[in-house]
Structure 1
Amino acid sequence: MPTSPDVDAWFERYDNPQKPLVHAVRRAVLDSDPRVTETIKWQAPTFVYKGNIASFYPKARAHASLMFHTGASLPDPHGILEGEGDVSRVAKFADLEDLDRKRAALQEMVRAWIAAKDA
């Protein structure tokens, strides 16, 4: 899956102990569907398909945190999203093993976003 040169440059500058985990989450999201692209918005990598899907919260240092902009409207049968607001939800990944456990659910949510946008 091609990556964005802007996001690649952001990762070069990214100084965080969770950098390898954030990069692995990035790969998982991009591998969800070839139509997903990435850009930098709000000073963080953001995944896009016919609108903003999710953005990293780059200051999280204890885990990788991915905020789904309209996560409250996405199906979450595996319960990986946190939050109770009207619009957004957050998926947190504690480490690479946690990401491995949640990878299929994460990718299902990205595909659900795409399906909703294509409907």
Structure 2
Amino acid sequence: MTRGIRNPKIDPFFRKADKWKEEFAKLREIVLDCELVEDFKWMHPCYTYEGKNVVLIHGFKEYCALLFHKGALLKDPHGILIQQTENVQAARQIRFANAEEIDEMQLIIKSYIDEAIEVEKAGLQVEMKKHSDYAIPEELDNKFAEIPELRSAFEALTPGRQRAYIFYISQAKQSKTRESRIEKYIPHILAGKGMDDE
């Protein structure tokens, strides 16, 4: 079995890591044992198979993780894959709190990486939800009834912009907050802009 290709350009990422240095080093060796090519994407070490993203190493305050780009397609016999938020459709994480966990799970981790490589070899794709599959918040629907041109402007937005508005408005727990979020962005929507557009 050949080893994956280590990329010296990524060494500084591992050298500079404060919190998860030992864990990152162990994860790197495990992933490289699975014959993947090491790259640097989204400011993190990313491992690819024939140019396709398979897994990424990243760290957070409470844990470090392997993020499988198409983790939703993995069988997960050990029940260890985690969906970061309900809005994440394809990616799944295996989280680690310390180096000992990584040592104990080494064979399991490799089996998940091997399966993720098979997913890429088979050309499988995660079926993403269409924006029409997302529920429009009631307050936004009411506003559409009140201002018909707002609905037209909203429907003319790209699916990604529509989703961003739906998520942002829906995340507010109180109806009053959802309404104020809608009010704030009415001019943006009418102007055909996304939330972050100037």
Smaller-chain TM-score bracket:
0.7 to 0.9
Q: Which moved more, 1:85-94 or 1:1-10?
A: 1-10
Q: Give the ranges of 4+ consecutive aligned residues of structure 1 lying more than 4 Å apart after TM superposition.
A: none
CA distance in 1, matches of 2:117, 2:24: 22
- List alignment gaps of at least 5 residues for structure 1: none
Q: Give the alignment of 1:8-47 within 5 angstroms.
A: 8-14=11-17, 16-31=18-33, 33-34=34-35, 36-47=36-47
Percentage of identical aligned residues:
30
Cα separation, 2, equivalents of 1:52 and 1:64: 19
- 2:14, 2:24 within 8 Å by CA — same for their partners in 1? no
Report the equivalent of 1:68: 68
Distance 1:48 1:21 in 2: 20
Q: Which has the larger radius of gyration?
A: 2
In structure 1, C-alpha distance between the alignment counterparts of 2:118 and 2:89, rounded to whole Å: 21
Could you say which structure has the greater relative contact order, defined with CA pairs below 8 angstroms and 6 or more residues apart?
1
CA contact (8 A) 1:80 1:105 kept: no
- The offset of 1:99, in angstroms, is 0.9
Structure (1 or 2) with the greater helix fraction = 2
2:9 aligns with one of 6, 17, 35: 6
Select which of 85, 106, 124 maps to 1:103: 106
Is the 2:71–2:116 Cα contact (8 Å) retained in structure 1? Answer: no
SS in 2 for 1:62: coil
**Match of residue 93, structure 1, among 92, 96, 108:** 96
How far off is 1:116 after superposition?
Answer: 2.6
**What is the TM-score when the length of structure 1 is the normalising length?**
0.84
Q: Is residue 2:119 matched to residue 1:116?
A: yes
Q: CA deviation at 1:11?
A: 1.5
How far, CA to CA, are the matches of 1:21 and 1:78 in structure 2? Answer: 21
Gaps of 5+ in 2: 123-198
Is 2:27–2:57's contact at 8 Å kept on the other side of the alignment? Answer: no
Matched residue SS, 1:26: helix
